[in-house]
Amino acid sequence: MPSPTAKIEAIYRYPVKGLSPQLLERTALVPGRTIAADRLYAIENGPTGFDPAQPTYFPKNRFLMLMKNERLAALKTDYDEGMHTLSIVQDGREAARGDLRTKEGKLAIEAFFRRFMPDELKGPPKVLSGETAPGAPHSFSDVAKKVVSIINLASVAEVEKTTGQAIDPLRFRGNIHVSGWPAWHEFDLLDGELSVGDVRLKVVKRIVRCAATNVDPATGVRDMTIPKSLLQNFGHADCGIYAEVISGGDIAIGDALTTNVLI
């Protein structure tokens, strides 16, 4: 039978891997790409050998990231896509700002991280950019394939019930938050297609959660054990799905999301 209609409740991108999200009212999706500027930058934690002219996938432990560096969540960041400028707010005050296209701008951001977390660095922090990759921008995603991540808010609510604690969906660092599906319905959609107007996405993978979800995105405090709770209560450590964009177009908050996957 037809899958229930869902609605897009929020759209986020994470311009710098491990740092805070940006809420988007709408965005354009392009086949074979992530949401524009999602994980376009990363902060290298120790030399990786990353080549911007021939970018390849590296595991997330080569960069600053919430799974190991929870203090990052206490920073509030903003990225100006037109100016390529990253600003970092710490304790309510701007602590750093830099144009990520320029040497001077990158040095300003790198200097901040040397001051902010010296004991967690494995080498000089370095701003890496996927912008100049040939063809399409590189994304410093947790997976090699360029995908959009989707979080079912009803599944998050089920985890809340079993833990007895409120859970901010931003713990899961997804691109699209969806309402209207039953809990865990997203797992029934594997290999199926989703539609938002003319946009079509193919669901390709469940998302296995890591210790990054244990960190409160508002405070940077590691105060939960989400993967363990998922395993104990549901028999898996998954929450959310990855989908590939196969037909592009605009999506916006409030748009209906439909699928013809049989359930």
241 CB burial (10 A radius; 0-12, 13-18, 19+): buried
193 CB burial (10 A radius; 0-12, 13-18, 19+): middle
Distance (Å, rounded) from C-alpha 150 to C-alpha 167?
A: 16
Structural domains in the chain, CATH included, are: 6-33+143-259 (2.40.33.20), 41-129 (no CATH)
Would you list the DSSP string of 45-77? ES-----TTS-----GGGB--TTT-GGGGG-EE
In tens digits, the chain (263 residues) has pLDDT values of 456 679 999 999 999 999 999 999 999 999 999 999 999 999 999 999 999 888 999 999 999 999 999 999 999 999 999 999 999 999 999 999 999 999 999 999 999 999 999 999 999 999 999 988 777 899 999 999 999 999 999 999 999 999 999 999 999 999 999 999 999 999 999 999 999 999 999 999 999 999 999 999 988 999 999 999 999 999 999 999 999 999 999 999 999 999 865 44
pTM attached to this predicted model: 0.94
Q: Are 64 and 113 in contact (CB under 8 A)?
A: yes
Q: Are 217 and 155 in contact (CB under 8 A)?
A: no
The set of long-range contacts for 189-194, using a CB threshold of 8 Å and a minimum separation of 24, is 189/3, 189/241, 189/259, 189/261, 190/241, 192/3, 192/259, 192/260, 192/261, 193/246, 193/259, 193/260, 193/261, 194/150, 194/243, 194/257, 194/258, 194/259
Q: Are 29 and 252 in contact (CB under 8 A)?
A: no
* β-bridge partners, 126: 44
> ∠ CA 176-72-55 to the nearest 5 degrees?
65
User: Residue 83: helix, strand or coil by DSSP?
Assistant: coil
The set of long-range contacts for 128-131, using a CB threshold of 8 Å and a minimum separation of 24, is 128/41, 128/42, 128/43, 128/44, 128/48, 128/50, 128/52, 128/63, 129/40, 129/41, 129/52, 129/100, 129/101, 130/39, 130/40, 130/41, 130/52, 130/55, 131/40, 131/84, 131/101
